[in-house]
């Protein structure tokens, strides 16, 4: 065919598809996201090699907590470590002699003493061998290895104190427990490093009380979900149960306990003051077992219900009067939006031993006192009560 469109022609069947001469439009816009005038983007630099497994992650001072403190001079540290074995015993002997002089002196001058008890803390200037390596090397991993068990022990003690009723109350009936460490225990680690270790235990750093010389960590414990306790209207708890009457001591022995406790209580305290007690309320429990107060003597000696009722009312009225005398402004941080707050009293086991915690709860309920929702009930040792008030 003359026009070249026949079979096998230039543009015939089987030929290549015709090219559009206007397909390459110099004014056509590039697809979205493509710039024909864009310069080639250089390839990103390769990532840095991973740190060595022994590399220590540096603390983050920008998180609001100070970083590592300046390292101490090695020579000073060595001299202190060597000389402390001489001056520390002499320091302790001097303190003992000083207190003996105060006790035996007929008249002590009226001058005011030092504002701080730092001169009594011999351990503050003592470097234990476990800390010597960290002081000499200054490496954070050595400081972490030293402070980790100390922090774990203090956290465990603080959590045990919370279980025994310690902690700063909050408006939601929860409690906040705080632990502080001095700089000498974490100098090469920094406060930020201590906070990082505390986060492993569920604690967090507290800006309040944290400065260049101290670090403070805290944990918020919510209020107990439910109070597993009987109602004041329930039948009396049977004797021997946690809420029922507890066994009283042998009556003929109480007069001897009442007289001899004046001697053996101070002696026991002086001989065991250095012992670390796992229970924060150890002395309350020890006193309920080995001592007897003048107010509770008659109730326990006779073990009559009327005597126990009089004793419970006397202690409850005394504590309630003291609590109600506190101004409402002191509960400002614990008040609800409508201005209501809870007044709190704490009855010890010795107050209701022979009557039982349930009976004491019934007597307190007649005056408007109920179980405190901020504490887990522990009737075998104490009874925490509250009463709503409004400012």
214 lies in the same domain as 256: no
Quick check: is 246 in a domain? no
> What are the angstrom distances between the C-alpha of 326 and each of 91, 163, 388?
43, 26, 14
286 lies in the same domain as 371: yes
Quick check: is 331 in a domain? yes
Quick check: is 35 in a domain? no
203 lies in the same domain as 321: no
For 351-377, the DSSP string reads HHTTT-HHHHHHHHHTTT-EE-TTS--
Across the beta sheet with 340-348, what order do the strands follow?
340-348, 382-390, 370-371
216 lies in the same domain as 79: yes
Centre a 10 Å sphere on the Cβ of residue 7 and count the other Cβ atoms it contains.
Answer: 8
From 206, 221, 236, the end of a domain falls on 221
280 lies in the same domain as 352: yes
Strand intervals (E) in the chain: 168-169, 175-182, 204-205, 214-221, 340-348, 370-371, 382-390
> What is the residue-level pLDDT of the chain in tens, covering all 391 positions?
444 444 344 444 444 444 444 444 444 444 434 444 444 545 555 555 544 433 444 444 445 788 899 999 999 999 988 988 888 788 878 777 777 777 666 544 444 444 545 556 666 778 888 899 999 999 999 999 999 999 999 999 999 999 888 999 998 999 999 999 999 999 999 999 999 999 999 999 998 878 888 999 999 999 998 778 999 999 999 998 999 999 999 999 999 999 999 999 999 988 887 787 877 888 888 998 999 999 999 999 999 999 999 999 999 999 999 999 999 888 888 888 888 899 999 999 999 999 999 999 999 999 999 999 999 999 999 999 999 998 6
Give CA 358 to chain center in angstroms: 31
Do 305 and 271 touch, CB atoms closer than 8 A?
Answer: no
Quick check: is 155 in a domain? yes
Do 385 and 370 touch, CB atoms closer than 8 A?
Answer: yes
Tell me the chain's radius of gyration from C-alpha atoms.
Answer: 37
Q: Tokens at residue 17, please? A: 């598809």
385: three-class secondary structure by DSSP: strand
385 lies in the same domain as 281: yes
Residue 386 belongs to domain spanning? 251-390
pLDDT at 391: 67
212 lies in the same domain as 289: no
275 lies in the same domain as 350: yes
**What burial class does residue 40 get, using C-beta atoms within 10 Å of its C-beta: 0-12 exposed, 13-18 middle, 19+ buried?**
exposed
217 lies in the same domain as 332: no
Nearest alpha-carbon partner for 190 in 56, 78, 81: 56
Quick check: is 228 in a domain? no
DSSP state at residue 164: T
140 lies in the same domain as 205: yes
Do 194 and 217 touch, CB atoms closer than 8 A?
Answer: yes
Specify the pairing of strand 370-371 against strand 340-348: unpaired
130 lies in the same domain as 262: no
Quick check: is 318 in a domain? yes
Quick check: is 152 in a domain? yes
Q: Residue 182: beta bridge partners?
A: 214
Task: Tell me the backbone φ, ψ of residue 351, rounded to 5 degrees.
Answer: -75, -30
From 172, 200, 221, the end of a domain falls on 221
Task: Tell me the backbone φ, ψ of residue 335, rounded to 5 degrees.
Answer: -85, 145
Rounded to the nearest 10 degrees, how much is the dihedral formed by the CA atoms of 306, 312, 318, 322? -150
For the question of whether the overall pTM of this predicted structure is more than 0.75, the answer is: no
Nearest alpha-carbon partner for 227 in 204, 211, 243: 243
pLDDT at 117: 52
pLDDT in tens, 294-344: 999 999 999 999 999 999 999 999 999 999 999 988 888 888 888 889 999
Quick check: is 317 in a domain? yes
From 221, 239, 263, the end of a domain falls on 221
Domain count, the chain: 2
84 lies in the same domain as 214: yes
Distance CA 225, CA 366 (A): 25
DSSP state at residue 231: -
């Amino acid at each position: 065919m003359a026009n070249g469109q026949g079979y096998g022609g230039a543009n015939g069947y089987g030929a290549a598809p015709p090219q559009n001469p206007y397909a390459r439009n110099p004014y056509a816009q590039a697809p979205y996201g493509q710039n024909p005038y864009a310069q080639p983007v250089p390839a990103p630099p390769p990532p840095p090699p991973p740190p060595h497994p022994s590399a220590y992650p540096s603390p983050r001072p920008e998180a609001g907590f100070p970083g590592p403190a300046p390292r101490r001079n090695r020579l000073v540290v060595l001299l202190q470590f060597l000389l402390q074995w001489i001056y520390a015993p002499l320091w302790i002997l001097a303190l003992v002699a000083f207190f003996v002089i105060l006790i035996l002196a007929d008249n002590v001058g009226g001058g005011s003493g030092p504002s701080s008890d730092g001169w009594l803390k011999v351990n503050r200037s003592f470097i234990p061998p476990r800390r010597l390596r960290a002081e000499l090397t200054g490496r954070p991993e050595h400081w972490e290895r030293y402070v980790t068990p100390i922090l774990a022990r203090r956290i465990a003690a603080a959590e045990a104190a919370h279980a025994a009723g310690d902690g700063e109350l909050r408006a939601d009936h929860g409690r906040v427990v705080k632990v502080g460490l001095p700089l000498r225990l974490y100098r090469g680690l920094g406060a930020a490093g201590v906070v990082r270790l505390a986060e492993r235990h569920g604690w967090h750093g507290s800006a309040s009380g944290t400065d260049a010389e101290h670090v403070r960590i805290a944990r918020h414990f919510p209020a107990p979900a439910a109070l597993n306790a009987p109602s004041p209207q329930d039948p009396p708890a049977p004797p021997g149960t946690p809420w029922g009457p507890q066994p009283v001591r042998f009556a003929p022995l109480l007069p001897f306990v009442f007289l001899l406790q004046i001697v053996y209580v101070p002696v026991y305290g002086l001989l065991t003051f250095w012992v670390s007690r796992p229970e924060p309320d150890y002395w309350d429990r020890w006193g309920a077992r080995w001592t007897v107060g003048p107010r509770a003597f008659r109730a326990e000696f006779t073990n009559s219900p009327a005597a126990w009722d009089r004793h419970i009312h006397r202690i409850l009225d005394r504590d309630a009067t003291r609590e109600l005398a506190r101004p409402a402004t002191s509960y400002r941080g614990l008040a609800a939006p409508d201005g209501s707050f809870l007044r709190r009293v704490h009855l010890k086991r010795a107050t209701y031993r022979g009557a039982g915690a349930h009976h004491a709860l019934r007597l307190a309920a007649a005056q408007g006192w109920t179980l405190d929702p901020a504490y887990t009930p522990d009737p075998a040792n104490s009874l925490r009560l509250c009463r709503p008030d409004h400012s």
